[in-house]
Every structure is written in structure tokens, then in C-alpha cells.
Amino acid sequence: MDNVDLDVLRQVSAWQREGRPVVMGTITRTWGSAPRPVGSLVAVRGDGHIAGSVSGGCIEDDLMARMREGRLAAQGVELVRYGISGDEAARFGLPCGGTLEVLFEPIGPASAIDALLAALEKGERVRRELLRASGAATLQAALGGDVVQLDEARLVTTHGPHWRLFIVGAGQMSQYLARMAQALDYEVTVCDPREEYAPDLPGAELTRAMPDDAVRALAPDAHTAVIALTHDPKLDDLALMEALRSEAFYVGAIGSRANQARRKQRLAEHFGFTEAEMAGLHGPVGLKNGARTPPEIAVSILAELTAARYGFRIPEPVFVGRGRVPTEPVSAAA
């Protein structure tokens, strides 16, 4: 789940402690061009105060009015659809005739919000099952991918970090990258066996294992990115050779184009990698945006990761006059 939805749960918990009535909504289905993805959360307090968003602001006014009038989930768990007709879509500002389906639940002790937050604060992934008849929720460890399932009896949702970032090297740039990545919903692990490096990594995990062992233990999946930042082939190559043969959606290493060429040559000569296996190796890592300082480079890396997450290919910038002007992003499917 993203940080916006985590903040919604925190606000729900705070309103509960204050003894205020609260209704929480979960997007369960979308049609057309919906502003927020399935699983997104919104919460409305009894007096109409709102936390989070399901439509970028279009539907929220209606939710606030219904809550103040006592018409939102007044009889228990309630399924609501917005934008079924063209007129209704226009009324609520939904783009391109989009439609949202949102399940609203009155929040109470049986909602297990505090228990859910406690697990999320420890970095755990949690499966929450809400019974529509009673409004009671149960929690268990989430296995496998993200799930949002709704049927006549229950709503099942997955909460916790959706993306993982494994960084080789605990230098200054890694610290900036780790902090920024957490704001983008990455669970961050930094690997550096060199005891001389003692980084400040709040919210991230530090491992002193050798990079190849650490990558194998991580078992990268399609929601994992692996980035090598040490400039030391003895460390970077160990991580890369494991990551390239995993399901990681992004594998990259810092360094110049010349270093990238030498890196590929080493992987081919010493570890038997083929050109096809090395095709997914990004390097130099990050968008080519002129970044120079460690925080700027961290921004460029995360920008490229974001493009990879959403299946966009960023073309090389072209020179126009005195500056570089990038062309429009092109979908990977184009």
C-alpha cells in the first residue's frame, strides 16, 4: 500500500481513540479511467472531515455530505458505485466515463485497525478479511501477490510494502536513495559487508552479508529492484549475477558507459552470461538528467524505477539549442 493509504489508517486510528464515528471506504473495482487504483482508501469522520482520496477530490464532496446527513454506511457495510451513467460520471467529475465501486464500513473495535497498523509499522505484509454481514475483520500474514477480492460475503485486501529495493553499498548516495525510496512505498534493504561503513538508515534494513548471499536470501520477485552502487566489482558483480537471473523488475549499477561495457564483459567471461541475460542490466543507472550530487542522482534513479514500474520507456534526451530537452515518454507497448 502507498503512504497515502497508510496515513488514512493512522488517521482512522486517531479518530477512534477520540471516540468519533468513522466510515472507511476501499475501492474494490474500477471501469474506464479511474483516478485512484483498486485498494485505495478513504475515511470520513462523523462531522464530514476526510482523510485520503478515492477520486482525486471529485466524489469526496458527496461523501462528506452523506456522512454529515447520516446516510453513509448507516446500516452497516455498504457497497456504492459512482459514475454508472454518463450524466453521473460528469456530475462527479470522473474522466472518460470512469466508474468507481467503493465498499464503505463503519469503523469499530471489531475492525482491527490498531492491530493492522501495529503490523504495518513493523514492515509486515498483512491480509485483512472483512465480513460484510457483521463488519468484523480478521488479519493474517499475506502470502503471494497483492489481492483485492470482493464477493457477497467478504472483502479481502492486502496491506504492507508492495515494492522492494535492494541496494548494494552503504555510502552517502545509498542513504539518500533509501530515504527517498521509502516515500515511494519501497521496503529497502542495504547490503554492505564492509564494517567501515556505518550508515544512518532509518526505516531500512542493513545486512552485512556478502551481496550474492543476500540477494539469494531476498529471493527477488517481480516487485523487486536491485541496484549496485559501490563501484567495486568484487561487490557489485556478486549481486548483479544473482539479480539478473531472478524475477527482479529492475537491475542496475552505477558507473560510466565504459564501466558498463567492462561489467558486461566480466559477466560474460567469468560467469557465462549471454547477451540476452544481460539485456535487462541498466547502466549507467538512472535517467540522464544532468544529476551531479548524491541526492540528485538518487532522484534520477527513482525516476527510472518509476518508469519501469509502469512500463514506460524513457528515450535518450536530445540536444536542442543550449539545453537538453527530452522527448515525450513512450509506452513500452508502443
Domains of the chain and CATH, by start: 3-159 (no CATH), 163-331 (3.40.50.720)
In tens, the pLDDT along 255-292 reads: 899 999 999 999 999 889 999 999 989 988 998 888 88
- pLDDT at residue 309, as a whole number: 82
With 50 as the cut, is the pLDDT of residue 330 above it? no
With 90 as the cut, is the pLDDT of residue 213 above it? yes
In tens, the pLDDT along 48-76 reads: 999 998 876 668 888 999 999 999 999 99
With 90 as the cut, is the pLDDT of residue 240 above it? yes
In tens, the pLDDT along 299-316 reads: 999 999 998 887 777 766
- pLDDT at residue 325, as a whole number: 46
Count the residues in the chain.
334
With 80 as the cut, is the pLDDT of residue 324 above it? no
- pLDDT at residue 316, as a whole number: 65
With 80 as the cut, is the pLDDT of residue 210 above it? yes
- pLDDT at residue 3, as a whole number: 64
- pLDDT at residue 326, as a whole number: 46
- pLDDT at residue 86, as a whole number: 55
The SS3 assignment for 101 reads strand
CB crowding 85-117: b at 16 or more within 10 Å, else e: eeeebeebbbeeebbbbbbbbbbeeebbbeebb
- The pTM is what? 0.61
* 252 alpha-carbon distance from chain centroid: 19
In tens, the pLDDT along 74-85 reads: 999 999 988 755
* pLDDT range class, residue 45, cuts 50, 70, 90: very high
- pLDDT at residue 150, as a whole number: 97
Mean residue pLDDT of the chain comes to 87
